[in-house]
Structure 1
Amino acid sequence: MSGDSYYYGDHVTMHGGAGNTGIVKNQGAAQPAPDPALAAALAELRRLIADLRTRVPESSAVLLDESAPAATAEGAVPAQERHRALMAVAGIASMVGTVGQPVAEAVRAVIGMING
């Protein structure tokens, strides 16, 4: 199979003798393994938010819709954005009393896992 190229690790291609810049780094930084307990807590929080959404006024439901993606994302979310979203969800949960108590507890659990 003439012409097939397979590169592992660094690869440099030179064209001519001047003005050559750059190097292809075929090595990614190792991503930390996702914490299964945190993933489960985030999934439970998503479920609880969806349930709470049906029990609150429309204005609060809209805020839950806006906050849920950042609050429950398993990927990288800027810490300040996630904290803001979690606090918004917890605030709504605390305002509706016992109906929101499971959500407030789930938010506390997620914050505890994130903060260590």
Structure 2
Amino acid sequence: MSGNSYYYGDNVNMYGGQGNQGIVRNQSGAGGTEQLNPAVVAALAELHRMIGELRTQVPAPSAQLLDESLPAISADAAVPAQERHRALMAVAGIAATVGAVGQPVAEAVRTVLGMISG
């Protein structure tokens, strides 16, 4: 396999002091982020509101994880799709563990995931 090059992230090539290419971004979209359609933006805004209500009803460590997940779930956030997915799964996990109180949030997460997955 000598001579094969596979790049899955940023790649920097430096050749002495000349001919430097700088950073080659090997990510999809603008900085690896995705454009969201208006329906997803609305669903994320509603989910954001619901998470705000849920965080007051969960233990402190769970509330902290919800707080840490919120920036990636914001419709305004320019985050890679995988980071958004990871944050949504964290929220879904917390919502599932608190039972009936978290059920609406878990359903909202499922809806958003369905919308962004295609």
Q: Into which bin does the TM-score normalised by the smaller protein fall?
A: 0.5 to 0.7
1:30-63 CA-partner distances (Å, limit 9, x unpaired):
xx97522111100100000000000000110000
Pick aligned residue for 1:96 from 98, 104, 112: 98
- 1:35 match: 37
Tell me which residue corresponds to 2:55: 53
Q: What is the aligned-residue RMSD (CA, Å)?
A: 1.9
Q: Which amino acid letter does the alignment assign opposite residue 93 of structure 2?
A: G
Which of the pair is proportionally richer in strand?
2
- d(CA) in 2 for partners of 1:52, 1:63: 12
Equivalenced residue count is 86
1:90 aligns to what SS in structure 2? helix
Give the TM-score of the pair, scaled to structure 1.
Answer: 0.68
Structure showing greater radius of gyration is: 1
Residues 43-82 of structure 1 correspond to what in structure 2 (within 5 A)? 43-82=45-84
Name the CA distance, whole Å, in 1 between partners of 2:114 and 2:93.
17
* Matched-pair contact (CA < 8 Å) for 1:42–1:72: yes
Unaligned runs of 5+ in 1: 1-28
